[in-house]
Amino acid sequence: MLAPAKLAALQQIIPQYSREELLWISGYLAGIAGGQPTTSAPAVLNDQISIVFGTETGNSKKVAAQLAARLKQAQRKVKLTSADQYKPEWLASEQQLIVVISTQGEGEPPVQAKAFYDHLHQRSETLPQLRYAVVALGSRSYPLFCQAGIDIDTQLRRLQAQPITAMALCDDDYEPVATAWTDGLLQILAQQIPAAPPAVAVATSTTDAKKQYSATLAVKQLLNDTGSRQAVYHLELDLPEEPNYTPGNAIGLVPQNDTATVEKLLQLLRISGSTPLLYKGQQQPASSLLQQQVSVHYLSSSVVKKYAQLIGADIPDTRLDLYDLLRIYPLPDELNAQLVIDLLNPISPRLYTIASAPNAHRGQLHLTVALDSFSTNSGQRQGFASRWLTHLPPGAQLSFFLHTQKNFQLPRSDKHLIMIGRGTGIAPFRSMLAERDATGATGRNWLFFAEENFVTDFYYQTEIQAWHETGTLQQVSLAFEKNRQRQLQMPDLLLLEADKLWQWIDSGAYLMVSGKKEYMGKPVEDALLQIIQQKKNTDTAGAQAFLKQLQKDGLYARELY
C-alpha cells in the first residue's frame, strides 16, 4: 500500500501516459522492484545467460528470441534453448537462467516443456549457484493465470536459486510487459554484472514470423444429420500457396467481429466508421479496427476493471461483451473513444487441426469445426471464432498461419497407430488416414471414434468405411453416447477393447488422443491407466510411470482443447 500523499502524487502523473506506456512502466517497475541486490549473490559470475523457452503457440519463443537479441545487443553471451532440447544435467553448471514459459491446459506447462517442468519439480539437489528470472505468459481469461511460470519461480526458490528480478506476468497483450521487463532486467544486469565481449551461441532459430497464407472457402458442409444436437462443419479451403504441413498440424485463424456488432459499438462510442483511431502504434478507421483487431467479446475482468477506473464507476468484477459494458455503463461525454480502444486486447487467434492430408488433398486444406454453443445468464450463445468461421459464405477470403504441433505428428509410415478421437477430434486422424492411404504406408491403423449419436453424428462415415474395406484401417471401434442399442462413452469402449488394445501398445504402437479436454483428457487417460495397471499387473504409480515413459518416447501424444 502507498501512503495517501504518495498515491495522490502517482495518480497525478498517470493521465499523461498512454496505455502502452503504462504497461511498459508496470513491467519496468516490476523489474526494478525485484532487482534489489540479494545478499547471497555470488561474487564472481559466469557471463553466459541461458534462456529456456516453453511454448505451445510460439508467443514464449518470440519473447525469448527478442530477449536474447536484446541481451546480445548489450554484449551479453546468450544461449537460447527450447525446453524440449534442454538437458537437466546442464542446470548444475548454469549460473544465470531465464525461463520464458506459457501456461496451457488448466494451469499446466506446454507439452514440449513438460519434461523440463517435471525435472525441476522432482529435483532434490539445490541450485544455490544459480541466479534466475522467469517470464510467465498466460491469459487472465483462465482461472490459473500464468500458473506454469509461477510454479517454476516457486520451485527455483525452493531449490535455493536466487531471483535476479521479479517474475514478469504477461496477459494476452504480452509484448509491452515483456519489453519493459527486459528493459528493467538489462538495467539490473548492467549494475550487477559486467558485460562480456560479444559472443553468440544461439541453439535455435530466432525467427518466429507467423507467415500468413490466404485461402478461399470452397466448401462448407454440415456433417450432422437432422435431429442432432451438434453443429459440426466440414470446411474446404482452396489455397493459392500451400503451406508445408504434416498430418497433426493445425492452423491459426483470427476471427472477425461482424458488421452489426461494429455498427452498434460505433454508436455507443459516438464515432463514425471512418474516425481514425490508434491501435498498436497504427492509425486506422474505427470500423476496420473494431472488425479485425480488437477483442470485444467476453472481455476479461481486467479490461472491465480498467474501464470502471476510466469512467469512475463501480462495476462488479465480471466478464461481459463490450457492447453490454458500454450500454450499461455508457462512456461519459467528456471521454473519447480512443480511451476505450486503448483498454482492449487484440483478438486471440483460434487453432483448428487440419483434417486433410498433403498427399491426398493437394491445393486444399480441410477443417472440422464445431459451432461452439453454451448457455449464459442472458440465454444461449455461440463461440466467437466458430460462429464466424461456420457462417462464412462459400467464396469468402480468409488468411491463416500454420501451427506445427511438434509433439502431435503422424508417426513413421511403418509404425502402428492407435487413434482415439471424439467429435472434432476426428480431424487429425482423417488427415493421418488419408495420408497413409495415399502413400501406401505399411503401419497398421486402429481408429476409436466417439460422439453422441450414431445416426446423426458419425462424421466422415463413408470415408472411414472405405478405408476399413480397403485395409487402410485394420480396426474401427465406435462409441455413441445416445445410441438406442448400446450407449457407450469412449472410456467404456477402451476398457471393452482392453485385451487387443494392450497387444497393440505392447507391440510398440503409437497412441494418439484428440478432442475436447472434458471428454478426452482425464476420462480417457484414467481408462488407459486402468488397462496398463491390469495388464502389467502393477499399481497406479507403476501405470503412470509407464504412460509417462510412452509420452517421453513420443509413443503417446494428446491434443486436447
Ligand X SMILES: Cc1cc2nc3c(=O)[nH]c(=O)nc-3n(C[C@H](O)[C@H](O)[C@H](O)COP(=O)(O)O)c2cc1C
Ligand Y SMILES: Cc1cc2nc3c(=O)[nH]c(=O)nc-3n(C[C@H](O)[C@H](O)[C@H](O)COP(=O)(O)OP(=O)(O)OC[C@H]3O[C@@H](n4cnc5c(N)ncnc54)[C@H](O)[C@@H]3O)c2cc1C
Among 82, 95, 104, 179, binds ligand X (CB under 6 A): 104
> Can you tell me whether residue 78 is helix, strand or coil?
strand
- Give the integer Cα–Cα distance in Å for 29 and 22: 10
- Is the CA virtual torsion 97, 136, 281, 398 positive or negative? positive
As measured in angstroms, the least distance from the Cβ of 56 to ligand X is: 3
Does 456 engage in binding with ligand X (CB under 6 A)?
Answer: no
What is Dmax (Cα atoms) for the chain? 80
374 binds, among ligand Y, ligand X, none (CB under 5 to 8 A by kind): ligand Y
The one segment of 54-62, 118-126, 332-340, 377-385 that binds ligand X by CB under 6 A? 54-62
Q: Which residue is nearest to ligand Y (CB)?
A: 383
The one segment of 58-66, 108-116, 148-156, 346-354 that binds ligand Y by CB under 6 A? 346-354
Amino acid at 435: E
- Give the integer Cα–Cα distance in Å for 548 and 542: 10
Beta bridge partner(s), residue 96? 131
Where are the alpha helices (H) located in 343-453, listed in sequence order?
A: 384-390, 427-439
Using DSSP bridges, classify how beta strands 417-422 and 510-515 pair: parallel, antiparallel or unpaired. Answer: parallel
Does 103 engage in binding with ligand X (CB under 6 A)?
Answer: yes
- Give the integer Cα–Cα distance in Å for 225 and 149: 45
Pick from 553, 251, 213, 253: nearest CA to 405: 251
- Burial of residue 65 (CB within 10 Å: 0-12, 13-18, 19+) is buried
CA separation (Å) from 561 to 451, 469, 519, 521, 558?
16, 32, 10, 9, 10
59 binds, among ligand X, ligand Y, none (CB under 5 to 8 A by kind): ligand X
The one segment of 14-22, 364-372, 409-417, 521-529 that binds ligand Y by CB under 6 A? 364-372
As measured in angstroms, the least distance from the Cβ of 96 to ligand Y is: 33
Number of residues that bind ligand X (CB under 6 A): 23
142 binds, among ligand X, ligand Y, none (CB under 5 to 8 A by kind): ligand X
To 10 degrees, the CA torsion angle through 42, 43, 48, 53? 20
183 binds, among ligand X, ligand Y, none (CB under 5 to 8 A by kind): none
As measured in angstroms, the least distance from the Cβ of 63 to ligand X is: 8
- Give the integer Cα–Cα distance in Å for 501 and 509: 9
Give DSSP secondary structure letters for 117-158: HHHHHH--S--TT-EEEEEEE--TTSSSTTHHHHHHHHHHHH
Does 137 engage in binding with ligand X (CB under 6 A)?
Answer: yes
Asked whether 231 and 370 are in contact (CB, 8 A), the reply is: yes
173 binds, among ligand X, ligand Y, none (CB under 5 to 8 A by kind): none
Does 153 engage in binding with ligand X (CB under 6 A)?
Answer: no
As measured in angstroms, the least distance from the Cβ of 295 to ligand Y is: 10
Asked whether 103 and 137 are in contact (CB, 8 A), the reply is: yes
Asked whether 463 and 435 are in contact (CB, 8 A), the reply is: no
- Give the integer Cα–Cα distance in Å for 182 and 63: 10
Does 247 engage in binding with ligand Y (CB under 6 A)?
Answer: no
Length of the chain, please? 561
The one segment of 133-141, 471-479, 500-508, 536-544 that binds ligand X by CB under 6 A? 133-141
Does 295 engage in binding with ligand Y (CB under 6 A)?
Answer: no
Does 351 engage in binding with ligand Y (CB under 6 A)?
Answer: yes
Among 156, 331, 370, 447, binds ligand Y (CB under 6 A): 370
491 binds, among ligand Y, ligand X, none (CB under 5 to 8 A by kind): none
Does 434 engage in binding with ligand Y (CB under 6 A)?
Answer: no
Among 50, 60, 81, 293, binds ligand X (CB under 6 A): 60
105 binds, among ligand Y, ligand X, none (CB under 5 to 8 A by kind): ligand X
Where are the alpha helices (H) located in 241-398, listed in sequence order?
A: 259-269, 286-292, 301-311, 322-328, 337-341, 384-390
- Give the integer Cα–Cα distance in Å for 370 and 327: 31
Among 31, 35, 110, 248, binds ligand X (CB under 6 A): 110
As measured in angstroms, the least distance from the Cβ of 248 to ligand Y is: 10
Using DSSP bridges, classify how beta strands 212-222 and 232-238 pair: parallel, antiparallel or unpaired. Answer: antiparallel
- Give the integer Cα–Cα distance in Å for 196 and 49: 11
Does 255 engage in binding with ligand X (CB under 6 A)?
Answer: no
Give DSSP secondary structure letters for 186-233: HHHHHHHSPPPSP-EEE-S-------EEEEEEEEEEE-SPTT-S--EE
Among 117, 174, 352, 556, binds ligand X (CB under 6 A): 174
Helix (H) or strand (E) holding 465: helix 461-470
Does 518 engage in binding with ligand X (CB under 6 A)?
Answer: no
The binding track of 290-309 with respect to ligand X, each residue x by CB under 6 A or -, is --------------------
Among 179, 256, 386, 477, binds ligand Y (CB under 6 A): 386
Does 298 engage in binding with ligand Y (CB under 6 A)?
Answer: yes
Does 28 engage in binding with ligand X (CB under 6 A)?
Answer: no
Does 107 engage in binding with ligand X (CB under 6 A)?
Answer: yes
As measured in angstroms, the least distance from the Cβ of 136 to ligand X is: 8
The one segment of 11-19, 37-45, 145-153, 498-506 that binds ligand X by CB under 6 A? 145-153
The values of phi and psi at residue 497, to 5°, are -95, 15
Does 476 engage in binding with ligand X (CB under 6 A)?
Answer: no
Does 249 engage in binding with ligand Y (CB under 6 A)?
Answer: no
Task: Closer to ligand Y by CB, 300 or 353: give it.
Answer: 353
Does 424 engage in binding with ligand Y (CB under 6 A)?
Answer: yes
The footprint of ligand X (CB under 6 A) covers 55-60, 102-107, 110, 137-139, 142, 144-147, 174, 561
Query: Would you tell me which residues interact with ligand Y (CB under 6 A)?
Result: 250, 297-298, 350-353, 368-370, 372, 374, 376, 381, 383-386, 424, 427, 559, 561
